[in-house]
Amino acid sequence: KRKKSQQWYINFPAAVAKAMEFQQGEVVEWLIENKALLVLKRTQVPDSPLKKKRTNSPQ
């Protein structure tokens, strides 16, 4: 137990972590919308592997 604060750990399935490309130890923010909705927000979002790259094609 920490002296100044308590921490709780939340786990989610490995398939979700892989699909979201989470890294172990990644820092995230939790936003409490209401007592029924807890939102996880990433502070550093990796680039999408599906993002289109611009090419200089002749016109």
Give the start-to-end residue ranges of the domains of the chain. Answer: 1-44
What is the per-residue pLDDT for 33? 96
Residue carrying structure tokens 């604060």: 5
Regions in the chain scoring below 70 on pLDDT: 1-2, 51-59
Q: Which residue type, as a one-letter code, is found at position 13?
A: P
Beta bridge partners of 29: 41
- pTM as predicted: 0.55
